[in-house]
Amino acid sequence: MLKKNQIIQVTIEDINHLGYGVCHIDGMAVFVRGGVSADVAEIKIIKVLKSYGVAILHQIVQPSAYRLPDPCPVHSACGGCAFAHIDYEYEKVLKGRFVEAELLKAGMNHIK
């Protein structure tokens, strides 16, 4: 059971359309601000709801190959550039997946 302020080591599995890393803990999805696919990190749980949790990066244990150094001194505090810390080629792959998912949801699965 997740608890607020708990620190857990995880591997980030994916990134959602808002730029949050996604991992699962005991079957529950946890959205991690600043997480990048394949990061191994310690995360701090900041919110636990019925069906998901929200966390922030506490410490990166092993950075992902897709992770770039923060380009801005206030990036982690501001959050305005959700994908600024991600390799551009990988960002294009992610955004392509997001567009495909929305087209499928709209019933346009015949477009490729």
Q: Residues 38, 7, 57, 96: is their CA dihedral positive or negative?
A: positive
- Burial of 2 by CB count in 10 Å (0-12 exposed, 13-18 middle, 19+ buried)? middle
Quote the mean pLDDT of the chain: 91
Please report which helix (H) or strand (E) contains residue 96, including its range.
Answer: helix 88-105
What is the rounded average pLDDT of the residues 4-12?
Answer: 97
Give the per-residue pLDDT at 53. 97
pLDDT, mean of residues 39-53? 97
pLDDT at 67 over 60: yes
Q: What's the pLDDT score for residue 84?
A: 87
Structure confidence at residue 4 (pLDDT): 96
CA-closest candidate to residue 44, choices 36, 33, 52: 33
Specify the pTM.
0.88
Count, residues in the chain:
112
- The residue-averaged pLDDT of 1-21 equals 95
How many CB atoms lie under 10 A from the CB of residue 72?
12
What distance in Å separates the CA atoms of residue 12 and residue 46, rounded to the nearest whole number?
17
C-alpha span between 4 and 48 (Å, rounded):
6
Look at residue 39 and tell me whether its pLDDT is greater than 70. Answer: yes
The predicted model gives 14-36 an average pLDDT of 95
Report pLDDT digits (tens) over 71-112: 777 776 776 788 888 999 999 999 999 999 888 888 887 655
Residue 4 has phi, psi (to 5 degrees) of: -60, 140
